[in-house]
């Protein structure tokens, strides 16, 4: 079995309760929400996203969906920007009504100069729980305890992905942990230590780490298949 579920939820679903359940429950997460604004705009910037460091706004990052793929915004006269707000489930931002969040996003996108609020024609809010594993003072010990418990009592249960491993990998590395896990299963042995994926800063930047590098490729902008 391969699990990408948050460790807290996975361990809580095993019956009888694993001995490391309390350690799993001690793991914490950071949540976030995206306010997607669709606007009339000829302004283009090539970045996939930009981080916002202006202390006068609450938005932390802006996704530029056209730069991910033109197919995401097929109308050349329009743009779609996702304003991301980092929060915790249940706090003021998370619990705010969608209409209030949309108005906040329109105000802040105007303030940082990417789009005028008057050009926004539609919007939606998407909330994402457990987007980021929290690296607090006890997370490493908790994860190691869970790993030892699973290795001893559930050797056929494999943890993969950001939440499945409680490891702050990017999307590419998170998917790579699953790909390498499948190779291990097919080989009947541990050919790759998936816990080393993205541990080496040089590999993270240049992708030159042996067999793992062979699984990576230059990222191309996706387009609709013929």
> Three-state SS across the chain?
CEECCCHHHHHHHCCCCCCCHHHHHCCCEEEEEEEEEEEECCCCCCCCEEECCCCCCCCCEEEEHHHHCHHHCCCCCEEEEEEEEEECCCCHHHHCCHHHHHHHHHHHHHHCCCCCHHHEEEEEEEEEEEEEECCCCCHHHHHHHHHHHHHHHCCCCEECHHHHHCCCCCHHHHHHHHHHHHHHHHHCCCCCCHHHCCCCHHHHHHCCCHHHHHCCCCCCCCCCCC
| The predicted structure's pLDDT at residue 116 | 93
226 within some domain: no
Model pLDDT, residue 224: 58
| Domain's final residue, options 81, 100, 133 | 133
- Whether pLDDT at 219 is above 60: no
Residue that has been written with the tokens 């949540």 in this structure: 31
Instruction: pLDDT band for 58, please (50, 70, 90 cuts).
Output: very high
Does some domain include residue 224?
no
What average pLDDT does the chain have?
88
pLDDT at res. 50:
94
pLDDT of residue 4: 95
Per-residue pLDDT at 223: 56
Q: Of 100, 133, 166, which residue sits at a domain end?
A: 133
Domain membership flag for residue 223: no
Do 119 and 59 share a domain, yes or no? Answer: yes
Say if CB 139 and CB 146 are below 8 A apart.
Answer: no
Q: Residue 147 is part of which domain span? A: 2-27+135-214
């Amino acid at each position: 079995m391969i699990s990408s579920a948050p460790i807290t939820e996975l361990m809580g679903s095993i019956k009888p309760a694993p001995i490391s359940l309390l350690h799993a429950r001690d793991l914490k997460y950071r949540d976030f929400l995206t306010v997607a604004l669709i606007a009339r705009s000829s302004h283009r910037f090539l970045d996939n996203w930009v981080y916002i460091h202006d202390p006068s706004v609450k938005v932390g990052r802006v996704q530029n969906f056209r730069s991910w793929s033109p197919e995401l915004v097929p109308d050349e006269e329009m743009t779609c920007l996702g304003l991301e707000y980092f929060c915790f489930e249940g706090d003021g931002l998370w619990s705010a009504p969608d209409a209030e969040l949309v108005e906040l996003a329109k105000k802040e996108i105007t303030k940082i100069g990417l789009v005028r609020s008057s050009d926004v024609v539609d919007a939606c809010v998407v909330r994402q729980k457990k987007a980021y594993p929290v690296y607090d003072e006890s997370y490493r010990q908790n994860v190691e305890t869970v790993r030892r418990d699973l290795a001893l009592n559930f050797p056929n249960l494999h943890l993969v992905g950001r939440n499945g491993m409680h490891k702050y990998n990017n999307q590419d590395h998170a998917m790579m942990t699953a790909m390498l896990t499948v190779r291990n299963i097919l080989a009947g042995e541990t050919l790759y230590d998936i816990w080393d994926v993205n541990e080496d800063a040089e590999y993270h930047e240049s992708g030159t780490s042996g067999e793992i590098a062979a699984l990576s490729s230059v990222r191309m902008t996706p387009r609709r298949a013929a």
